[in-house]
Structure 1
Amino acid sequence: MDSDGEGRAGSRSAVTGTVMEQLPSALYRVKLEGGALVTAHIADRMDRNFVRVLVGDRVRLELSPVDRGRGRIVEKLP
């Protein structure tokens, strides 16, 4: 855990986007509101709760601080 108490997740930036394509190995291609395309996987919490993500769904995701082309889907938006 970092000294600020947020851990590693504190350095991730949260953005919203739309799922454009489902890829093999439980990966998704997501188009961000800014127009960029990223590859993302589902967070463990969503997978354990059987949340299904389909093409066209709006999602909130956290981008990796190391590689801005990869992210983790943390929430399915209405």
Structure 2
Amino acid sequence: MAKVIHIRNVPDDVHAALTEAAEARGLSLTKYVQRELEQVARADFAVQHNLAVIREVQAQMPPDMDPELTLELLHEGRRE
């Protein structure tokens, strides 16, 4: 079920900028802010997921592995 968020003490200039951005896209302020919050949440989820993957890979790497070799293998993998 959807939740309600109330935001207090939004500075006038921020409110005006959000309202203007919403109007420019033909959206209500509520729909615009909702869409922006969804994008922020998805981006944060991606960052957290990527961080978990990085930590997992780091845990599997030998502690004495050469960082230059690591970068070389990374670049090689991207070319494939």
TM-score (norm 1): 0.22
Q: Which has the higher strand share?
A: 1
Give the structure with higher Rg (CA): 2
TM-score by length of 2: 0.21
**Per chain length, whose mean CA-contact separation is higher, i.e. which structure has more relative contact order (CA < 8 Å, sep 6+)?**
1
Q: Which protein is richer in helix relative to its size? A: 2
